[in-house]
Amino acid sequence: MSKSFNIIKTNTSNPKVWVVIGVSVVGFVVLAETLRRRRNPKLNGRVDFGAFLERFELIPFPQPPPPAARQPLAGLKFAIKDVFDVKGYVTGFGSPDWKRDHHEADRTAVVVTLLLKNGATCIGKTVLDEFAFGITGENKHYGTPVNPQMPSHIPGGSSSGSAVAVAAQLVDFALGTDTIGCVRVPASFCGILGYRPSHGTVSMIGVLPNSQSLDTVGLLARNASILHRVGHVLLQLNAVEPRRARRLIFADDIFQLSKVPKLKTIHVISKAIESLSGYQNPEHMNVGQYIASNVPSLKGLRAQSTSPENGTATLKALSSVMLSLQRYEFKTIYEEWVKSAKPRLGYNVFERVLEAINTTQDNIKILYKVRNEMRAALQRLLKVSLSLNVSLRIC
């Protein structure tokens, strides 16, 4: 009998030995699964990377005869998050329980129709966190789309399927919705471009809301050229190129929250614009201080903050207002259905829905006042850069 075997036999009663063995086995299993996913992103026959809930084809409106110009989006294919109405299909909201209780849409969402009129072809609806109430992109019922860039990682949400469809080159671009980051997060996770227009810029008619005063239609694309073409249509800009924004403002206090050194970010952006004409040198400011001075209704809420970091107290108070508004508005729309249908939900979404349904906002008027003051403050800040769209996401 070998010496090694005797050592193992002697120590089999030692619980520490079994802990080491157990950890080692788990490590090998995790490593094997990670390698398997990387080798085969089309897991379990999911040839579409699990991005789609259902496939169909909405053909574009007829091309105008010559000498009319070719439709700007001709030849492009796109997908839509399962919150956009399509005539003849039930908008499922990422939930089979919701889909079971609702009827087929009698008309197509305004924004989808706009894209069809401009030559694009829609090929299906994509997966999302149930009720667009998640940030991971996971769905208990339909599965989690596979991140094409890093198959062992989540794709981010809630517009996960739309981001994956673009990143996997299944479509040229896709539509999602963005409430508190639901387009920008999966775009960053999947290595593509994500754009959240200013609130109200793109029509939400025919789109299921999560929080009506925060929701926007968002755009995902693989490259800047497609993002520009589709964005031009969504924003319904004139054929003449709009006046270029000539100011760049660095929010120093927010960049300090990033793990990427601020100087590195400034260098990259400065190099990107140095060959462009008409741009001034970047300006620097403390956005937290600007908000504190220009959003007076936030002061009382900030006083309630337990954050020890004075520099981020204003930003955290603003973030708290955003989350409180989201919960309140979700409850206003869906409380009755949630209580009667008792939908089956994934754990993370269940927690968020429960928080929303149980929320009580005695200070709701103050929250809306903060929102209105904040929008006015940003408009004043950017009034000389009319074409510059800025959205702040504070985690």
Helix (H), strand (E), coil (C) string for 105-157 = ECCCCHHHHHHHHCCCEEEEEECCCHHHCCCCCCCCCCCCCCCCCCCCCCCCC
Residue 171 lies in a domain: yes
Residues 190 and 124 in one domain: yes
Q: What is the pLDDT of residues 263-290, one digit of tens each?
A: 888 888 878 777 777 777 778 889 999 9
Residue 14 lies in a domain: no
Residues 70 and 216 in one domain: yes
End residue of a domain, out of 235, 268, 289: 235
Residue 244 lies in a domain: no
Q: How many CB atoms lie within 10 A of CB 291?
A: 23
Residues 262 and 288 in one domain: yes
Read off the pTM. Answer: 0.82
End residue of a domain, out of 235, 267, 297: 235
pLDDT of residue 239: 64
Residues 202 and 324 in one domain: no
Residues 108 and 82 in one domain: yes
Residues 186 and 111 in one domain: yes
pLDDT of residue 52: 98
Q: What is the biggest distance separating any 2 CA atoms in the chain, rounded to whole angstroms?
A: 91
Residues 289 and 158 in one domain: no
Residue 245 lies in a domain: no
Query: Domain total for the chain?
Result: 2
Nearest to 167 by CA among 150, 133, 191: 191
Angle at 116 between CA 143 and CA 98, to 5 degrees: 35
Residues 178 and 89 in one domain: yes
Instruction: Give the percent of the chain with pLDDT over 70.
Output: 81
Residue 180 lies in a domain: yes
Give the domain range for residue 284. 252-394
Tens-binned pLDDT, residue by residue, of the chain (395 aa): 444 445 444 544 444 444 443 434 434 433 444 444 444 444 444 679 999 999 999 999 998 888 888 899 999 999 999 999 999 999 999 999 999 999 999 999 999 999 999 999 999 999 999 999 999 999 999 999 999 999 999 999 999 999 999 999 999 999 999 999 999 999 999 999 999 999 999 999 999 999 999 999 999 999 999 999 999 999 988 766 656 657 788 888 888 888 888 888 888 887 877 777 777 777 888 999 999 999 999 987 765 554 444 557 888 899 999 999 999 999 999 999 999 999 999 988 999 999 999 998 788 999 999 999 999 999 888 774 433 333 333 33
pLDDT of residue 391: 38
End residue of a domain, out of 182, 201, 235: 235
Residues 264 and 194 in one domain: no
Q: What CATH number did the domain enclosing 209 receive?
A: 3.90.1300.10
Residue 170 lies in a domain: yes
What is the rounded distance in angstroms from the CA atom of residue 128 to the CA atom of residue 166? Answer: 14
Residues 277 and 184 in one domain: no
Residues 176 and 324 in one domain: no
Residue 231 lies in a domain: yes
Residues 229 and 300 in one domain: no
Preceding amide of 158 cis, omega within 30: yes
Residue 155 lies in a domain: yes
DSSP for residue 202: S
